[in-house]
Structure formats: structure tokens, C-alpha cells
Amino acid sequence: MSRVDLAELDFFSAEVQECPFHVYRQLQDEAPVWQMPGTNVFVVTRYNDIREVIRDPGRFSNNFSALLNAGSSNKEVSAIYEQGYEMVETLLTQDPPRHRVYRNLVNKVFSNKRIEGMRPFIETMTEELIDQWIDEGEVDLLNRLCVPLPIYVIADQLGVPRSELTLLKKWSDASASRLGQLANEQQQLENARDIVEFQHYFADLIDRKREQPEDNIISDLANNTIDEGRLLTKPEILGMVQQILVAGNETSTNAIAGGVVLLIQNPEEQAKLRANPDLIPGAVEEILRLETPTAGMWRRVTEDAAVGGVDIPEGSFLMVRFAAGNRDESIFPCSGAMQVERDNADSHMAFGQGTHFCLGAQLARTELQIALTTLLRRTDNWGLVEGKNTLEHHPNVLLRGLMDLHISFDKATV
């Protein structure tokens, strides 16, 4: 594609966000730490520069909530949020050592041992979801597998009935849209209503779990103590639950859907997995590298600093672009090509690194492995259904996920 004029580039435009990869390559070649014209925002696109930033929370803070709270001047939106609970710093926008206090409360839920123990349940749920459409020859895969599988899993961990699937997805999408900062005024209103609805639902659930504790995340957060014995406040719990809900399903949903598209577009790589399912764990890492569901994240500069030889003033914001780093040619040769046997695919940054390494990384990997393994075993001859797929992504600065995915298939013969 033709090179763009960096002095005129609107990096966060819908057009660039939908098809960003040629822009990533140009920035890496010409301005790997690039200041957006007229702003105090610097976009970081090279793998090693990103790695330096996210491993140094002292100079590059995760406390970027000022950006999130500056999304709308609409008084109606603000009035809706005033009906809910204030948003406080817990996991995503908290720095060490305070971040560790909150993270320790949920680490056990997402431990490798616990996730591995969940594998039979995830396998059964995947089989049951596929059973519902296996004889149809065509399926809205996004809404009949990619969305419900991670939502059912995280709902069970939170302690929410599976009957609330639709609500959980709606609340998660609203939270992701607010985080992504590209919502128009009408969407901002809908997001505000949905997020406040989410807050009141879980505030009531917190009260119930304090009276009748159970073995789930909500009950643990409602009854565990910090700071010399005090219970968490409702805003603290709601902030953590909101982040767990988004991280616990959006990444997996988007990776499963994106992975299927990649395998349809790369039939030779798909054939390798069908011939040798032992390659699937490595293929999952390659899918995460190429899809990078969390395309980027913010950092706030706490003191005058330099990254990649570029001076960055205190108070500036960095957009560390994981999706660009995951296609850095110096780290991943032929970076735009899918190679399910790529030796260093697991060096990707799809889950970040350092203190804020994604809490649900192992859960997402497990869900993706199981979903692909089961799909490949039970279906064959995948194709994109003509006229039903835009293959466009939700407008979002931070998260990348398909808006639709309809595939045709043959039921595999046993």
C-alpha cells in the first residue's frame, strides 16, 4: 500500500484502525516512537521499545484513567454515570506496589493449576455448543461459539447464572467500548446505561454473597480483606469485576474468531493442524501474535524520559502498540505470514509483559486450544459464507475483534 504523510496521519481514525498494518510498518521504518501531530501522545511500535516501556512502571505509569474519563463532554452521559458507582484504581490503572494488593486477591482463580482443572468443563461446553449446529452446514460462528464459550466460563467463575449470558455480553461490550474511546454520542449514552446497570446488578450480588458466601470470584472479593483487615469497597470490587469480565471473554472471543479466519485464509497451515493436532498449542501462539486482541495500551510518562532515542516530556501519554510489536520484522521474520510452526511465536506481546501481564492469559490460551481442536476434529472444508461477512472489526482504540463471522462447513466423518 502507498505510504502515508505522517504529518497528516490520524492514527486513531476508523480507517487506520480497521487496516493498520501498513501504517505500523511505516512507523517502524520511519518513526518508531512517533508523536501524533498537535498532541502529547507518542505511539510506540517496535518490539524492544514496547518491552522497555511496559517493564518500567516507575517511569511509564499504568494510571491513565484521566484519558478514560475524558471521553465525553455530554452532560446526559455524565448524569447517567452519577447514578452508579465511582470508578477507582484497582487492576488495570494501578501501579506497583498497590497493584499487587488487588492482583493477589484474584491470582488463585487464574492459576495454571486451576485453569488446567477447568479443561474438562471447557471441553464439554465446547462439544455442547457445537452439537447445537453441527448438522446445519453453516453457522454464525461468532455468536454460536466464539461469544458463548468464554462468557459461560467466566460466568461460572464469577458466580453468575448462565441464563445471564446476554446481559453479561452486553455489559462487557459496553465496558470494552468505553475503554476503546471511539464510541459516538449515542453509543456513549448506551454504554453509560449498560455500565450503570452492570454496577447495580453486581452491587446487589455483592450484598448477597456477603450474607451467603460461595466458592466464586464475587464471593471471594466480597468477603476478603485488605489494608489491615478492611473489606473491599463496592467501587473497588466493581472495578475489578468489570475488568475481569472484559479480559475474561473479549480476548478469547476475538482470538477464536480471528484464528478461524486465519486458518481459512491459510489452507496449507490449516492442513498441517489437521494432520498433526500436536501443533495446535504453537498455532495458538501464532494466532495470538497475528490477531493481538488487545492491540495496544496506554502508559503515562511520570518524568522526562527517552524511548528509542526520542525525548518524551513528563505528563505525556504513550500508546504502546502490541499489535505492531508482534509484527516487528527484526523479531518475527515474514511477520505478516501465518506459520503455525514458527519457532518464536510464543514471544508475542498479546498479553503484555511485566507487572500487568494479562491475568487471564492461560485461560484464553486454553479456550483457544480447545475450541480449535474440537472444531478441526468435528468439521471440515471451512469457508466464509458469501454475502454474510464484512470481516470488519469493532471500532476500538485498544481492542480488536470481528463484528461477524459466518462459516460453511462439512460435518467430519468419524
Q: Tell me: the pLDDT tens digits for 339-355?
A: 999 999 999 999 998 88
pLDDT tens figures, 197-239: 999 999 999 999 999 999 899 999 999 999 989 999 999 999 9
pLDDT tens figures, 300-336: 999 999 999 999 999 999 999 999 999 999 999 999 9
Q: Which pLDDT belongs to residue 107?
A: 85
Domain range annotation of the chain: 1-61+295-349, 75-289+352-411
- What is each CA distance from 244 to 44, 50, 103, 172, 383, in whole angstroms? 26, 24, 11, 10, 33
Q: Which pLDDT belongs to residue 70?
A: 56
Average pLDDT, the chain: 93
Cell numbers linked to 379: 468439521
Dist. CA 290–CA 285, nearest whole Å: 9
Closest by CA to 16, choosing from 181, 24, 314, is 24
Q: Which pLDDT belongs to residue 247?
A: 81
pLDDT at 69 over 80: no
pLDDT tens figures, 19-39: 999 999 999 999 999 999 999
Give the mean pLDDT of 37-62.
96
- Number of residues written out for the chain: 414
Give the mean pLDDT of 1-24.
92
For the CA atoms of the chain, what is the radius of gyration?
Answer: 21
Q: Which pLDDT belongs to residue 72?
A: 56
pLDDT at 52 over 90: yes
Would you call the peptide bond into 293 cis, given omega within 30 degrees of 0 as the criterion?
A: no
pLDDT at 285 over 90: yes
Fold topology of 1-61+295-349: 3.30.43
CB 259 within 8 A of CB 368: yes
pTM value is: 0.94
Q: Give residue 277's pLDDT band: very low, low, confident or very high (50, 70, 90).
A: very high
Cell numbers linked to 108: 488463585
- The partner residues of 319 in beta bridges, in order of sequence, read 43, 298
Burial-class residue 123 by CB neighbours within 10 Å (0-12, 13-18, 19+): middle
Task: Work out the percent of the chain whose per-residue pLDDT is above 70.
Answer: 98
Q: Which pLDDT belongs to residue 111?
A: 84
Q: Which pLDDT belongs to residue 1?
A: 59
CATH of domain 75-289+352-411: 1.10.630.10
Q: Which pLDDT belongs to residue 332?
A: 98
Dist. CA 53–CA 301, nearest whole Å: 10
pLDDT tens figures, 72-104: 568 899 899 999 999 888 888 899 999 999 999
Put the strands of the sheet holding 60-61 in their side by side order. 33-35, 41-44, 317-320, 297-301, 60-61
Dist. CA 86–CA 89, nearest whole Å: 10
At 306, is the secondary structure helix, strand, or coil? strand
Task: Work out the percent of the chain whose per-residue pLDDT is above 90.
Answer: 79
Q: Which pLDDT belongs to residue 363?
A: 92
Give the mean pLDDT of 369-394.
97
Q: What is the CB neighbour count within 10 angstroms for residue 333?
A: 11
